[in-house]
Amino acid sequence: MFVKKRSRQKQAVEEGINFTAMNNDFERGAGPKRFSYEALVLATNNFSNEKKLGAGGFGNVYKGFLINMDMAVAVKRVSRGSKQGKREYMTEVKVISQLRHRNLVQLIGWCHDQGELLLVYEFMSNGSLDSHLFGKRRPLKWEVRYKIATGLASALFYLHEEWEQCVVHRDIKSSNVMLDSGFNAKLGGFGLARLMDHEMCGQTTAIAGTLGYLAPECVISGRASKESDVYSFGVVALEIACGRKPVEEMEDESMVRLVEWIWELHRNGRTLEAADKKLGLEYEVREMECLMMVGLWCAQPDPNLRPSIRQAMRVLNLEEEMPDLPNMTVLMAMNQVPLQAAHSNSPSVTNTCLYMGR
């Protein structure tokens, strides 16, 4: 008991040192600012249920208004006692505070005070992409969908190639793609991200992410990389085009994987049959084909056959020809992933940060 108590005390001291170091680093910069707990209590009406925007595995998100900045914000409140939540909080502040891109959610500030861990983001008035694709909102028009796909590709290109270090996001999914008032895509959810030098970015880091979006090699080998980010992007691209989730339960209780389903249609020359029925015929055929083909290209089971995000983006921008994908049955290595796990709606985390469902 004495040893355990000393261990907890040591951990608390180390966390205090880490938080102090974070304060010193960021308060010297011109980026996100530190907020007092009282200011965020005021902004969110004491974190009232009426202000709640959503809930996740490690906390809740509230809408707030900063009077002195005349700004609507989203405040993420990490659940007390969540060790993974603390780790993701530290990572998010360290990583996203350094990034500046029009297609990334902007971190306005942070707070760790009175035992609370809070992150303050710009408010995204149109919510998350998945809420539009699968919720009860009015279906997104095609031109909006295509703009979202190209915006997400631009964000990932910045992370992988344009910024001074390579950022492997590790959790790209439609619920982490936020939409502003103009339906511009902004990638968030950087709690699992990893920074690497560009010359090291071809190497891999520990597995993390959400089943259904995870590349097969991640599940098999337990490693993530730029290539696995590209796979996840491909799944989201197919969601946008088809309006279907990565894994769906059918009426006969069988499970259908989106990637496998579209590969089968493509093999039979029927790719366009996968287009979201909610669109009717209100879409550009060339763009629909392009988005689906890029999605399949990125979501190939073999990471060596996937494009870089630069290549995928150039095709989406119609600067290069669409890829010539094989018209044959593809051996789907993701069969290693249990369908029941991938379909589960209950968010849970293992010690490798593997999420089940959304």
Distance CA 345, CA 210 (A): 11
Residues 6+ apart with CB under 8 A from 135: none
Residues 6+ apart with CB under 8 A from 263: 296, 329, 330, 332
Closest CA to 339 of 357, 358, 320: 357
pLDDT of residue 342 exceeding 50, the answer is no
pLDDT band at 20 (very low <50, low <70, confident <90, very high): low
Q: What is the pLDDT of residue 204?
A: 54
pLDDT band at 197 (very low <50, low <70, confident <90, very high): low
pLDDT of residue 353 exceeding 60, the answer is no
Annotated binding site for ATP: 76
Candidate from 8-12, 101-105, 262-266, 291-295 with smallest mean pLDDT: 8-12
Express each pLDDT in 23-40 by its tens digit: 555 555 557 899 999 999
pLDDT of residue 191 exceeding 60, the answer is yes
Distance CA 35, CA 119 (A): 9
Express each pLDDT in 163-190 by its tens digit: 988 999 999 999 999 999 999 999 998 8
Closest CA to 342 of 330, 326, 354: 354
pLDDT band at 7 (very low <50, low <70, confident <90, very high): low
pLDDT band at 55 (very low <50, low <70, confident <90, very high): confident
pLDDT band at 62 (very low <50, low <70, confident <90, very high): very high
Distance CA 357, CA 47 (A): 26
Beta partners for residue 256, in sequence order: 248
Catalytic residues: 171
pLDDT band at 345 (very low <50, low <70, confident <90, very high): very low
Q: What is the CATH class of 35-122?
A: alpha beta
42 or 220, higher pLDDT: 42
pLDDT band at 324 (very low <50, low <70, confident <90, very high): confident
191 or 134, higher pLDDT: 134
Distance CA 66, CA 50 (A): 17
Distance CA 215, CA 246 (A): 12
Annotated binding site: 76
Distance CA 75, CA 112 (A): 13
Q: What is the pLDDT of residue 15?
A: 53
Mean pLDDT of the chain: 84
What percentage of the chain reaches a pLDDT higher than 70? 78
Closest CA to 38 of 83, 68, 8: 68
> For the chain, what is the HEC assignment?
CHHHHHHHHHHHHHHHHHHHHHHHHHHCCCCCEECCHHHHHHHCCCCCHHHEEEEECCEEEEEEEEHHHCEEEEEEEECCCCHHHHHHHHHHHHHHCCCCCCCECCEEEEEEECCEEEEEEECCCCCEHHHHHHCCCCCCCHHHHHHHHHHHHHHHHHHHHHCCCEEECCCCCHHHEEECCCCCEEECCHHHCEEECHHHCCCCEECCEECCCCCHHHHHHCEECHHHHHHHHHHHHHHHHHCCCCEEECCCCCEEEHHHHHHHHHHCCCHHHHCCHHHCCCCCHHHHHHHHHHHHHHCCCCHHHCCCHHHHHHHHCCCCCCCCCCCCCCCCHHHHCCHHHHHCCCCCECCCCEECCC
Contact (Cβ atoms closer than 8 angstroms) between residue 293 and residue 322: yes
Express each pLDDT in 296-310 by its tens digit: 999 999 999 999 999
Distance CA 44, CA 35 (A): 13
Distance CA 5, CA 209 (A): 33
Q: What is the pLDDT of residue 37?
A: 96
The alpha carbon dihedral of 66, 72, 78, 80 has a sign of positive
In the chain, domain spans: 35-122, 129-355
Contact (Cβ atoms closer than 8 angstroms) between residue 153 and residue 190: no
pLDDT band at 347 (very low <50, low <70, confident <90, very high): very low
CATH architecture of 129-355: Orthogonal Bundle (1.10)
pLDDT of residue 213 exceeding 60, the answer is yes
pLDDT of residue 10 exceeding 90, the answer is no
Residues 6+ apart with CB under 8 A from 79: 58, 59, 60, 85
Q: What is the mean pLDDT of residues 196-212?
A: 63
Residues 6+ apart with CB under 8 A from 200: 166
220 or 312, higher pLDDT: 312
